[in-house]
Structure formats: structure tokens, C-alpha cells
Structure 1
Amino acid sequence: METADMYISGVGSYVPATVGVDDAVAAGRYTAEEVELHGLVSVAVAGDVPAPEMALRAARTAVARSGRSPTELDLLLYTSTWHQGPEGWPPQSYVQRHLVGDGVLSTQLKQGCNGMFTALELAASYLRGGHLAALLVTADNYGTPLVDRWRMLPGAVAGDAASAVVLDTEAGFARLASVCTASVSQAEEMHRCAEPLFPPGVTEGRTVDFAAHNDVFRRRAVVEGDGTGVLVTLDERMAEVIDRALSEAGIKAGDVTRVACMNTSQEIADQICEHRLGIPASRSTWEFGRTLGHCGASDQIVALEHLVRGGELGPGDHLLMFAYGPGVTISAAVVEILESPVWSRTRGGDA
């Protein structure tokens, strides 16, 4: 989706203190072998801070930095990957009540770890209908009984964080040059393999282990022979999505300044940067991400804020963002930095 007329006027995040992987190894929660294999050093842990409260804090920062009043917003999209509060309760209403008020359309998206990409696409389409700006927010706290953050994901540790973006029809510090998503529905078993659809696992207190599901799915694909075609399709679709995002942004891989992938194993970041794009892995945000863990749908937006605030992205630079989620859905987006915002030049990065 070409989005040359869409801008990012504000961005914000809430990232709690981190816990070192060495502490987890000492406690028997993580293994020294996994430390060696994946290269992760710490993970953000929010304790008992609720995800919607983290979302509100990130959203307040993003709106303040955008220069817009909350009353100027026309849309609120809230995305997440994990439980947010009482079942049947919509977390976007918490942000709406405490920040943007009732004069906006607000809804929740459930699109997994690339939910912010879907939010960007939907918001861009909505804003073209004569609206001014949209607030997109995501948050997750995995410190709950039904998941073990240290073993939940293949090649990753689940980190807690929130992030927010104000997508604007008027000039901001960055331009959303493109955003693209594709699906590989024949791989939908990857995140549910061997688990029944009913009754839902959460109603029976079953723990979530995506790593185990992924292992079963891949073993079946190899044993069944033709199942490996799904794995090939996933790789091909990833390449197609990245190529389309670059093409619609009007740039080539060599024009990419930095790459923000999901905060997982170094091997995955290297595969995308060096083997797919042909650019040095040092341009990825992996060194930063390895200190936070995989923070649901926040990885790329937290990285964007970090790079701009630290001066690692400046006017004329391009950030390629990439993610995939259950379904399987694969997304990519290109952000062009237009100027260094005031908050990147102030101490502490405040608005």
C-alpha cells in the first residue's frame, strides 16, 4: 500500500526495567545453551503494571510529541498479542477514557506481532476519508500464569512494552512511505499445532507454548514431505512483501539506512539483512532489541523511537520495518525521516 500522503507526527513508548538472562539461567528458567545460540542479554519485565496502563503512558507521549490535541484525533486503534485485563473488557476504552475522549472511533485489533502494521494500513485508509489523525497503540505484559516468557517463543524471550504512533495527514517528522501485508493461510497451524480448537485453551487454564507448536508443525512438514512446500512459501512470501514495500516506497535495498525486525535470535536478523537484502547485519536493530526481548507488536516502533532519539536516523534516512505473526501474516513498511524532531534534541527525549 502506497502511503506517500501519510506522516508520523508523534511516537512514544513505555519500556520497563530489564532482567538479565544470566539471572534466568541461575534460576533454571533459561539455559546457557540458548544464551549461546540466540545471543539475547536481557528482557523487559513490567511486573504488575497492566498492559493498558503501559499503553496509556506510551500514547500520552506520542500525542504530546505530535503537537496535536487529543480532541483532534479521529481514530484510535489498539492492538495486542496477550490478555489485557478482564475477559470481555475492551482495553481501548481505557485509553479513550483517560486520553482521547469519546469523539473518536476506537476499536481493538488482534493481529499478533505485526498488529501495528495492520493498524497503519487501516488508519491510512480511514484518514483518506477526510480525517486528520489517528492514534495507534499496542501493549503487552506477559508476566501471567498461563505463559512462561522464557520458553514461549522459538528463538526469543517475551518482553513487556508499549508503543504508540500518531499517523497524520499533515507533515510530521517522518513519512510513512509504504506498508504491505501478505498471508500464508496454509501455515495457520504453526501456532496451534496439536491443540484442539474447542474449548479454548484459556478457558481450561492451558499454558501457551508457541515454540512447541512451531516445532511440531515443522517436524510434520518434513515428515510428510510435501509439507515443506509451506515453509518454502513462507520464505518466498517474506521476500515478496519486503520487495513490494521497497518498490512502493520508491527505494532499493541499498537505500535502506536501518532495518527493524522482531527482537529474536541474531540468526533471523542476519538472514533478513545479509541474505535477503544484501546489507550488513550491523544496520539492523538487533543489538538494541537483544536487550529488551520480543515485545509483541511493539518491537519496530520502540526501535524507531530509539533510533531517532539517539540520532541514528536523521533527515533523508529510511527505516525498513518487518514482522510476521500468526495466521501466518507477513508485513513490511518503510519510514522516511524528514527532520529531527524537537524531542530528539532535548535531554531525556521529552516532548
Structure 2
Amino acid sequence: MYKLPLRNVSRTARLVHPRAPIAAAAGSWSALRYASTKTMTVREALNSAIAEELDRDDDVFVIGEEVAQYNGAYKVTKGLLDRFGERRVVDTPITEYGFTGLAVGAALKGLKPIVEFMSFNFSMQAIDHVVNSAAKTHYMSGGTQKCQMVFRGPNGAAVGVAAQHSQDFSPWYGSIPGLKVLVPYSAEDARGLLKAAIRDPNPVVFLENELLYNETFEVSEEALSPDFTLPFKAKVEREGKDISIVTYTRNVQFSLEAAKILEKDYGVSAEVINLRSIRPLDVDALIKSVKKTNHLITVESTFPSFGVGSEIVAQIMESEAFDHLDAPVMRVTGADVPTPYAKELEDFAFPDAPTIVKAVKSVLSIE
């Protein structure tokens, strides 16, 4: 397993305390639907999805720290207070345990909260409400009590925010029955998955990547519709025949870069699969890909132990896909250390395109 990659790419420095208000990246966006735009940032996609769902359903509301007057720590909720008012966009004190408990109670009474965590590291303060109340009440009530809500915000490492603000909680929440866990990559993912999450009758954990917020993606005309939603299924971002690279969020970008290098330098046709959903995990899509390519690596920016890649390996081993493997599955992960603060060390702690290329070469026995 590769744990110590070479160097991260496309990083944007942020020189503020992670708990302090964070200025938005350059550019402007609107809470309105982008009827004629063919490109959109992830931030714009999230903003427009929330606005449309607030418009569509009066039971939906947004709650969290700085979501209203400050327009959101990452400006995802920009303009929503002006448009929908204080009843629908609710600022709170710095108390994740408090406002998450309030939101869970509101969901149990039939409202549909969107809870923003300034960082999913701070969701640890509220994990009892998320894991014990939101996730389990429907089951424990014999199906009589729904808890329809979304927990969203940036997840995983950013830049220079050190060990207590850099963890990827995909495996944590993905292990909990009663929760659905989504991990968007592109603007179209962000729009379609968030709208679907808000409408889903179950509690949904929606894990965004801070470093993708200002990335621009092409979007289809279909994705601009207020009725656009996406299923909680994996997406083949790049077709290939020699090896399957399974990943999610920002590592999709690095995997696509690696696939181009592999094709150009080694004649390797790599298939890149964007999971989009951790729970439910689209095992059928993974089996289908492995049956075609006969090789598999997983890529994630989590700690190596008990991660998403580990679950994928187990699912493949326990399925008919195992008989189609021509080499062992390899996991590409983050380093098995608390995330360093120093940039030189941080750059070594997470996967990048060269690391993925090195793993593929190992699996395919390419010198």
C-alpha cells in the first residue's frame, strides 16, 4: 500500500485560523438558477441547489455558524438570508452540539434542516446527535418517525490547517446504518446530489472538499433544471480497459491526471470511477469495471486503516469480481500520521497524480 505520496498539486494557501471567518475566493455567484451558463464552480452549484430547494419546499431551512449575515464561512450560503429571511437561514452561536441537536429535533417534528458544519472535524462535537439520534430514530421507532435532514460542509484536508482540522470522515459516517453519505466531485455532482439529499427521507451526510469550491466545471443543460437530481450511484468519469481506479472527491481530479500520464507514457488505458456515494456504495459498478479491466486500485485521502478502500477491497473479494482479478488490489491512501502543519510535510501526506501512476505501474508490473 502506498501511504507517502510525492507531492500534492493545485493547492491554494490559506493563512487564517481555521475557526476564523474565511474570505471567499475570487469571483461572484448568485443564489439564482444559472439558466444560460454552461460552466459553474462547485460553490455556485451548492449555492444554487440550496436556493432552489428553499424555494421548492417551505419546510427546508439552513442552520449553522455564520450561514446568514456572513453569507457562510466559505460563501456557500451567499445571498440566502437576503432572499429567504431569518426564519429560513439561521445563524447560531459556536456550539455544534447545540444547533445540531436543535436541528435534529426540528427534523423529528417534520421540518427538513440543512445543517452546515464549518468543518466536519467540528461535527465530532455533535456526533451523538448525528449517529445516535438522526441515524437511529427511524429504525428504533419501527418506521414511524422520520428524520429528514442534511449535514453538510467541508471534509478532509485543506491547506495548513493541521491535524485537528484535516480528517476525512467518509469511513466514520459510512459505517453507520441509517445514514446516507455522499461525496461530490464536480459542480454537476454537487448540484444533483445535494438536491437529491435534501429531498431524501433519510438523514444524509454530505461531505464536500474545500479545495474544490472554486473549481469550475462544465455542466449540462439538464443539470441547470430545478428538477435535476442525481442517483446515489458511481459515475465512470473515464472509460478504460487495463485497470480500474476507484476514488472520490478531489482525488478524482488526480486520478484523471494520472490516467492521462499512463496513456501517454505507458500506453495504459485506465478507467476512473467517481464513487459519488460512500453509503450506499455502488458495488455493482465496481464489479462491472473489474470484470472489464481485471485490475483495481483505490485512491483516498484518509488514513490507511479501516478506510473506504478497505471496504472496497472486501466487497470485491467477496463478490464474483474476485475471479476476474489478475493481480491483488492496491490501496493508495494518506499517510498513517496526524496531518502535518508544515507545508513540506503536508505535501507528502496525501495522494497526487504521480503517486497514483506509481501504484498503477506496480499493479500492472510495469518497470
More strand by share: 1
TM-score by shorter chain over 0.5: no
Range of TM-score over shorter length = under 0.3
Task: Calculate the TM-score normalised by the size of structure 1.
Answer: 0.27
| Structure showing greater relative contact order (alpha-carbon pairs closer than 8 Å, 6 or more residues apart) | 1
